[in-house]
Amino acid sequence: MAGRFAGNPVRSRRGRGTSPWPLVVVLLLLVGLQYYARPRLWDGPTAPDFMLVALLLLAIRTTPGVAAVLGLLIGLVADVLTPAHFGAGMLAHTLVGYLGSQGRAVVFAENILVTAGLFAAGLWVRNAVMLLLGGTDRAELTRSLLVWSPLQATTTALAGLVVVVLFRDWLAIRIDE
């Protein structure tokens, strides 16, 4: 499984290759934050999306095809939990995963603002695709894309930066400030 991750893998303490376990622990933490902590602490239109952070952290380490499949699976989980417009979440997450993997050359600039921009742009694109495919009326679409999505993108970017800064050694990310 460690061979599937491109980029700078985390070296084991003995120096014998790579270990996916630090990344797995961070991903499990993000899943717990999304489905356990977030609904109890901050469940509103501006709440950060930890699953999108997890998707983008995986996307910048894998090929575009693998990132798209991961996005499809995360979107499937999102669609199963909110089945009003089944398929919109799958397409939106697939697109964000693919584009996040393609944008890995930009992310490896290792700048904290570029990383925050990746998280924010990924969330805004995901929300735009889901709203457009969901048949949202013009007034709600405008309000969501110009007010709620930027606010949620900001909170998601901040949450993603906290994760990246706290776990940068585990994620093998070097941040230049």
The tokens 């969330």 sit on which residue?
123
The tokens 């977030």 sit on which residue?
38
**Residue range 52-73: mean pLDDT, rounded:** 91
Phi, psi (5° rounding) for residue 164?
Answer: -65, -45
**Inter-CA distances, 68 with 15, 39, 164, Å:** 31, 27, 22
133 three-state secondary structure: helix
Tokens found for residue 171: 């994620």
Q: Which residues contact 82 (CB under 8 A, 6 or more apart)?
A: 89
Q: What is the mean pLDDT of the chain?
A: 82
**Residue range 167-176: mean pLDDT, rounded:** 71
pLDDT tens sequence across 140-158: 999 999 999 999 999 999 9
Q: In the predicted model, is pLDDT for residue 15 greater than 60?
A: no
pLDDT for res 112: 84
pLDDT for res 106: 66
pLDDT for res 109: 54
Given a contact cutoff of 8 angstroms between Cβ atoms, the answer to whether 115 and 161 are in contact is yes
Percentage of the chain lying above the pLDDT 90 cut: 41
CATH fold of 2-171: Arp2/3 complex 21 kDa subunit ARPC3 (1.10.1760)
Phi, psi (5° rounding) for residue 7?
Answer: 95, -145
pLDDT for res 60: 86
Please give the residue that has the higher pLDDT: either 16 or 53: 53
Domain boundaries, the chain: 2-171
pLDDT for res 4: 46
**Residue range 126-133: mean pLDDT, rounded:** 91
Tokens found for residue 170: 């585990």
End-to-end CA distance of the chain: 31
What CA–CA distance (Å, rounded) separates 149 from 143? 9
pLDDT band at 115 (very low <50, low <70, confident <90, very high): confident
pLDDT tens sequence across 26-42: 888 888 888 888 888 88
- CA atoms within 13 Å, Cβ hemisphere of 95: 16
Q: In the predicted model, is pLDDT for residue 122 greater than 90?
A: yes
What CA–CA distance (Å, rounded) separates 71 from 152? 19
